[in-house]
Amino acid sequence: MAGETRTGGQRTDRDPIVRRIAERRAQLGLSESALSTRAAMSPRYLQHLLDSGPDFDPGGLVRVAAALDLTYQELMEGRRDPPPGQPEAAPRPVLAHLSTDECWDRLGTHGVGRIAVPVQPGPAVLPVNYLVDGGTVVYRTASGGPAAPAPGEGVSFQVDQIDDHLSRGWSVLLTGTAEHVDDPAQTEVLASRAQEPWAGGDRPLWIRVRPKSVTGRRIDTE
C-alpha cells in the first residue's frame, strides 16, 4: 500500500518518516544531494528511500539517520521529548483573553516559568522556579548571574501550559520591574515556602517581579 513500509514484518507509515527527514534536513541546512553524500549513497538511491512503497532497505535508513545525527528509532518514531506545538492546530480553534483573576488562578502558588531580562548582547529568557506572593512573582537565583536583573530594571515573566494532544493551552505574561528582596525576615519566609530550584547550586538572591500589567490568552476548541 502506498505510504507504507515494512520493518521486521510489520507495516510502518512512511509519510511521517519522510516528513522527519525533510524537517531534519531543513534544520541542518542540507540539500538532498548533501544528505546523500553524508549517507554515502547515490542521490537516486536516497530518492528511492523517500518514495512511498512497501519495500525498502532498513540499512539505508540507518545510514540516513546517522547522516542526520539521529538514532534509527528517532527517525522511525520521532523524538520522545519533542518541544510542544508540533501537532496540527485544532479544526476550530478559539482564542480568548484571560482576565487578571484568571491569569493569577493559572499561575497558582508556584511552578516553573521563564524570566526575560535585559542583558548584553541581547535579552535573555531563562527558566526559573517561582512563587506567587501577594500579587507578585518571586524566584531565587545566583548573585550576579544571568537571571539577576538590577533593581528597577524592566523584566517580563511568562508561564504557559500546552496540551499537544488536544491542540490547546494558555499563556500568562507579566511585565514590570525587578526588586531584590533584602529583608532577612522576608527571605526566610519565602525560603520556607519554596522548593529547591531544579538547577541546584547556591542561589541566595531573591528577585521579586512587581507587575505593571498582567495579561493572558488561551486557545481552546469550540
Residues with Cβ < 8 Å from 51, sequence gap 6 or more? none
Calpha distance 218→168 (Å, rounded): 8
Fill in the amino acid letter for 189.
Answer: V
Calpha distance 143→117 (Å, rounded): 14
How far is C-alpha 59 from the chain's CA centre? 32
Q: Which of 79, 74, 72 is nearest to 57 (CA)?
A: 72
pLDDT for 163 equals 82
Output 60 or 130, whichever has higher pLDDT: 130
Return the sign of the alpha-carbon dihedral for residues 127, 131, 136, 142. negative
Give, as one character, the DSSP assignment of residue 90.
P
pLDDT for 151 equals 95
- pLDDT tens for 161-181 read 988 777 789 999 999 999 999
Output 54 or 119, whichever has higher pLDDT: 119
- pLDDT tens for 86-107 read 777 767 778 899 999 999 999 9
CATH numbers and ranges of domains, the chain? 4-77 (1.10.260.40), 93-221 (2.30.110.10)
pLDDT for 54 equals 44
pLDDT for 186 equals 92
